[in-house]
Amino acid sequence: MNRVRLLPAALCLSAVCGLLAACQTVTEHVIPQAFGDWLREQRARVSPKSRLGEKLAYIARHWDGLQVFLVDSRVEMDSNAVENLARPIALNRKNALFAGHDEGAAAWARIASLIETAKLNRVEPYAWLKATLEAIAAGHPNSHIDDLLPFRPSSS
């Protein structure tokens, strides 16, 4: 019968932490340095007017952002998630162009922005709008109108 020898949990945790620290060191220092050296070498060899030269120049212009991505694992490589969240807000505002009058369009854009903000903050828009209008009708003070916004903790 084969016996499996188990390592103490503290030893395993220590090994994992050491491995993570080594990976972080490589990500923070070795990769950016090596890639930076390669980028400088390629930019010196390639014509800046060529398509490749333009792409290398683009990388060089965004070098600081790339460094943030490599150092902080929470940072996404692209902004697609943020852009996808913002798109409905922009579309709703654009729909206000067809409201028929400038004042009507401005009012629609404000309401649409509030509704989309509620959605982004996981607040059910109809319930929030109903509660907000009822609070205003019941005499909610104008000096505390910000308390009714859909991203406030007290919002429902």
- Average pLDDT of each block of 10 consecutive residues along the chain (156 residues)? 53 59 67 86 94 94 84 74 72 67 79 83 90 92 88 56
Cβ–Cβ < 8 Å for 149, 115: no
pTM: 0.41
CA distance 121 to 155: 10
State the Cα angle at 137 between 135 and 141, rounded to 5°: 65
pLDDT in the model for residue 139: 93
Q: Please report the beta strands in the chain, taking only residues with DSSP state E, as ranges in sequence order.
A: none
pLDDT in the model for residue 45: 95
CA distance 51 to 47: 9
pLDDT in the model for residue 156: 45
Q: Which pairs count as long-range contacts for 141-145, CB under 8 Å and 24+ apart, including other chains?
A: none
pLDDT in the model for residue 155: 44
pLDDT in the model for residue 55: 94
Cβ–Cβ < 8 Å for 87, 112: no
pLDDT in the model for residue 48: 93
pLDDT in the model for residue 30: 73
Label residue 140 left, alpha or beta by phi (over 0 means left) and psi (-120 to 50 means alpha).
beta
Mapped onto helix, strand or coil, the DSSP state of residue 14 is: helix
